[in-house]
Structure 1
Amino acid sequence: MEIIKSMELEYAKIALRSNGVLHIHFVGNYIITGKEAKAINDILGNLSENKEAPVLITAETLIQFDRTAREFSASPEGFRFTLAEALVVKNFAQKLIATFYISYDKPPKPSKVFTDETKAIDWLLNFKDEVD
């Protein structure tokens, strides 16, 4: 998918794709704090023009979120620009962390773990179709 707009941080690349999906790609081996989670959320709002959009999350390596980042990310405020989120994992460790986040922090909107990015995007586009 073509990238319409994007912004980069030290720890993540965030892009709006032509299909309307916001893509957060974490880079490097980083521990995300609440401050960084809020910065990402602000960028999601900027790229989506403060509208809700489906969000795809990928990572190069194992990315960790501290407690404040997890709590914010799974809160109504953290989801204010998110219709649904798909977390694409590459390995067992990423899957454990993603599954824990969904099971324990209980995001307020649909969230699902995938091993295939294409299937994740297809799932996300179902939510976009509901609001278009």
Structure 2
Amino acid sequence: MDLKDKHIIKGEIADYYLEDGILVSLSKNPRRTVDSIKKNVALVKEITNNKPIPLLIYLSNSPVPDRETREFSTTQLPIIYTAMAMVSKPGLSKFIMNILFSLKKPPIPMKSFTDDKKAKEWLKQYL
């Protein structure tokens, strides 16, 4: 992944850039809180002009957020994203999906990948 030509927007829990109508998130690893998620949602809305778009997220190993943060985060997803493709080492995204959505379906289409090219291809249907 070559970032030198990208306009990177720095955030507390992730850095972002836009590519071909897709928001790319370079996840960082601090523990997520309701406050950090609120700040991140505001940042994403600023980047996307308040229009939900597909998200390609490169996951990092961050601590599991508390229940309140997970529930709040779930309510925010459809407001800012049309779909989410998670790219990680095998097993990590599946683990995160199981934690976040073990009891209910994700609020937007989500899929995990180990190959970012396949993730981008899948996201294109949500542009």
TM-score bracket relative to the smaller structure: 0.7 to 0.9
Show structure 2 runs of 5+ residues with no match: none
Evaluate the alpha carbon distance shift between residue 125 and residue 37 of structure 1 in structure 2; reply closer, same or farther with a 3 A threshold. Answer: same
Superposition CA RMSD, Å: 2.2
Query: Counterpart of 2:13?
Result: 11
Q: Distance in 2 between matches of 1:73 and 1:6?
A: 23
Query: Counterpart of 1:113?
Result: 112
TM-score norm. by structure 2 comes to 0.81
Q: Partner letter of residue 38 of structure 1?
A: K
Q: Distance in 1 between matches of 2:41 and 2:27?
A: 14
Considering fraction of residues, name the structure with more strand: 1
Q: Partner letter of residue 43 of structure 1?
A: L
Cα distance, 1:45 vs structure 2: 0.8
Q: Distance in 2 between matches of 1:31 and 1:103?
A: 20
Cα distance, 1:108 vs structure 2: 1.6
Runs (4+) off by over 6 Å? none
Query: Alignment length, in residue pairs?
Result: 124
Cα distance, 1:62 vs structure 2: 4.1
1:42 aligns with 2:35: no
Q: Partner letter of residue 16 of structure 2?
A: I
Query: 2:31 touches 2:65 (CA, 8 Å); kept in 1?
Result: yes
Query: Counterpart of 2:98?
Result: 99
Identity %: 31
> 1:1-132, aligned counterparts within 5 Å?
3=6, 5-17=7-19, 19-27=20-28, 29-75=29-75, 77-128=76-127
Query: 2:14 touches 2:27 (CA, 8 Å); kept in 1?
Result: yes
Cα distance, 1:73 vs structure 2: 2.0
Show structure 1 runs of 5+ residues with no match: none
Query: 1:30 touches 1:63 (CA, 8 Å); kept in 2?
Result: yes
Query: 1:38 touches 1:78 (CA, 8 Å); kept in 2?
Result: no
TM-score norm. by structure 1 comes to 0.78
Cα distance, 1:65 vs structure 2: 2.7
Evaluate the alpha carbon distance shift between residue 93 and residue 87 of structure 1 in structure 2; reply closer, same or farther with a 3 A threshold. Answer: closer
Query: 2:60 touches 2:88 (CA, 8 Å); kept in 1?
Result: no
